[in-house]
């Protein structure tokens, strides 16, 4: 049986793609014929298993790169290694994120550095590193923000500040990289229960409060986010500088 030729397939790099939403984004792009570079930090086993499945389906259609995005030197190495994979990049998806509480009175400089680095600094420097190849290929950038940057989120001020910076970067780079590169964002609502509030018994009241505030009365799915990311990256040829809310109407108030 003749194997399909991947040599002309577009290339996407997705940060934090070993599991959860990032892995689903990788699956959607791969299903649509992309070669996928899966970045991970700690989820190497998951990332390698994901890539193995992709490569079984289509040889040499996926690679795995591991890097700590809070280390600025590793960002440069990640960009270098990503271009070594297939020679260019068509789409960058900034999905990787740190997320945890930082109640006022207990916020440390390390909290600030970690949350700003993973959610804002790393996306900025990755965009800078890939700007040349994305311009050459009339590519696209999609950033994953958060609906709570507009509403506020008690106990998570550092995280929401970092995501707000990412949204501001989306608008600024949409201007700076135009007309060759489109830059947009997807703003998820309640998609997966956060790992610190995922137990249906222990966190039943908290989960019920969240669902009560969603007009569609349910969580979204990882696929809802992945399809939105793919649409903005691949199909939305006349959209740039925009943030697409995928939140079941929760931002309506």
Calpha distance 146→149 (Å, rounded): 6
Residue among 79, 165, 72, 156 at smallest CA distance from 116: 165
The helix (run of H) or strand (run of E) holding residue 188 is: strand 182-188
Residue among 11, 139, 22, 105 at smallest CA distance from 69: 22
Calpha distance 210→85 (Å, rounded): 42
- Residue 100 annotated to the active site: no
CA distances from 250 to 150, 188, 245, 246 (A): 11, 10, 9, 9
Residue among 3, 24, 26, 2 at smallest CA distance from 13: 26
Q: What is residue 89's DSSP assignment?
A: -
- The torsion of the CA quartet 28, 58, 46, 141, rounded to 10 degrees, works out to -40
Task: Spot the catalytic one: 34, 159, 230, 238.
Answer: 159
Runs of H (alpha helix) within 204-249: 204-212, 222-230
The helix (run of H) or strand (run of E) holding residue 168 is: helix 157-176
Tell me the catalytic residues: 159
């Amino acid at each position: 049986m003749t194997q399909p030729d991947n040599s002309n397939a577009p290339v996407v790099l997705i940060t934090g793609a070993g599991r959860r939403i990032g892995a689903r984004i990788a699956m959607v792009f791969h299903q649509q014929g992309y070669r996928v570079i899966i970045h991970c930090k700690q989820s190497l086993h998951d990332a390698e298993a994901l890539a193995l499945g992709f490569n079984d389906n289509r040889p040499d259609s996926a690679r795995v790169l591991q890097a700590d995005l809070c280390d600025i030197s590793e960002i440069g190495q990640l960009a270098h290694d990503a271009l070594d994979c297939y020679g260019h990049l068509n789409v960058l998806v900034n999905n990787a994120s740190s997320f945890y509480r930082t109640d006022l009175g207990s916020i440390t400089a390390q909290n600030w550095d970690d949350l700003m680095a993973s959610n804002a600094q790393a996306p900025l420097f990755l965009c800078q590193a890939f700007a040349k190849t994305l311009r050459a290929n009339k590519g696209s950038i999609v950033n994953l923000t958060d609906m709570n940057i507009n509403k506020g989120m008690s106990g998570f001020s550092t995280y929401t500040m970092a995501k707000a910076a990412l949204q501001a970067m989306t608008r600024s780079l949409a201007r700076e990289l135009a007309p060759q590169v489109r830059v947009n964002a997807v703003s998820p609502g309640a998609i997966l229960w956060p790992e610190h509030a995922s137990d249906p018994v222990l966190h039943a009241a908290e989960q019920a409060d969240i669902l009560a505030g969603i007009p569609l009365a349910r969580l979204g799915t990882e696929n809802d986010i992945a399809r939105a990311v793919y649409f903005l990256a691949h199909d939305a040829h006349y959209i740039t500088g925009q943030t697409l809310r995928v939140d079941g109407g929760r931002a309506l108030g």
